[in-house]
Amino acid sequence: MSGSRKKFDTLCIHAGQTTDPATGAVMPPIYTSTTFEHEAFGQAGEYAYSRGANPTRGALERCVAELEGGVRGFAYASGMAATAAVLELLEAGSHVIAQQAIYGGTLRLFNQVRRHSAGLDFTFVDFFDLQRVESLLRPETRLIWVETPTNPLLDVVDLTAVAELAHRHDVLVCVDNTFASPILQRPLERACDIVMHSSTKYLGGHSDVLGGINVVADPELGRQIAAITSGVGSVAGPFDAYLVLRGIKTLALRMERHESNAQAVAAWLETRECVQSVRYPGLPSHPQHALARSQMDGFGGVVSFQLDGDLKAVGEVLEKLQVFTMAESLGGVESLVGHPATMSHSNIPAEQRRELGINDNLIRLSVGIEHVDDLIADLDQALAR
């Protein structure tokens, strides 16, 4: 692991050859121009109109593609726009298999938007039983959607096994890699076809930019997504692309601190009597801990735990926290605390949430890069009764 760590420390700085060729600027300029002069009549250059290609966005796309080990990247205005672009690959009537307990926004897009507007059919299943997943494949199945670690329960899915299953049936695999980042997990190296990020989270890393990224392993698939992206136009603006690219420069350093803090916080939470259970892939108690160790280069910065108390008790704890900020999102340098049942997964009916294990007493921590002693002290005072 130490060798790959050193490599990715360097790649975060230099991936994608982002030095500006025109001026030698070590950070690419923010090209705000929407249109570019043609080289001659009937001869457009690499850049013609910014929806199709922009130099600042291109620098970000090359950088993340190299970090993920892909051939081409695409930057979008949000993580949901990146997810929607993958669905645009599918013909009306196509079937998609996805995990049960995934990000609430993804579930909403699948169930409430694309099921109706695009005529797609979705089946949600527990990915720990791959025989069951395979039994649900149909002739019209075109995509398997994977999220690992999942939001908010931090389940870990065997990417190699899913890719092998999918490719036996000529089905694409897309992996939401937001929680891990390419520093800790690279799904394309495990034969998956597309990797997606909400770059709002760890890639940007400072809670100041909205964005999404897709990276593909196959050039032909890249050409298809490029046509979709240009046609739909849900691309990242140049300033947003610049902010994400700037954030990536410190990604390796930040992920190291996020992980070490999260590991310590998770271990501490396991010692508290008022905590029923803790979910963190780096803990031996996690049901997929061995898989996480073999598949990932680290365990990330998100910790979820169930409080021994009701919804009122959860609210009291969250309101007492002082270093952790109660807010949506994750992956920034600051520590955040969220309540999935009333935040990220509030659009899911309560009965369905309970079936997925997203109970009212579940709390999700996005562990930041502050000093770990201050984080634990903050949790200690908030949990004191």
> Which residues does residue 214 pair with via DSSP β-bridges, in sequence order?
74, 196
Measure the CA–CA gap between 326 and 378, rounded to whole angstroms: 13
Residues shown for the chain: 385
Query: Which residue, 181, 185, 183, 198, is CA-closest to 157?
Result: 185
Residues 6+ apart with CB under 8 A from 232: 84, 85, 88
A 10 A CB-CB count for 308 gives: 14
Coil, strand or helix at 338: strand
Q: For the chain, first and last CA: distance in Å?
A: 41
Measure the CA–CA gap between 351 and 152, rounded to whole angstroms: 17
Token duo for residue 51: 């929806």
H or E element in which residue 99 lies: strand 95-99
Measure the CA–CA gap between 340 and 316, rounded to whole angstroms: 16
Residues 6+ apart with CB under 8 A from 44: 36, 38
Question: Quick one: DSSP state of residue 35?
Answer: B
Q: Tell me, what amino acid is at 350?
A: A
Active site residues: 51, 103, 176, 201
Q: What angle do CA 57, 179, 81 make, to 5 degrees?
A: 40
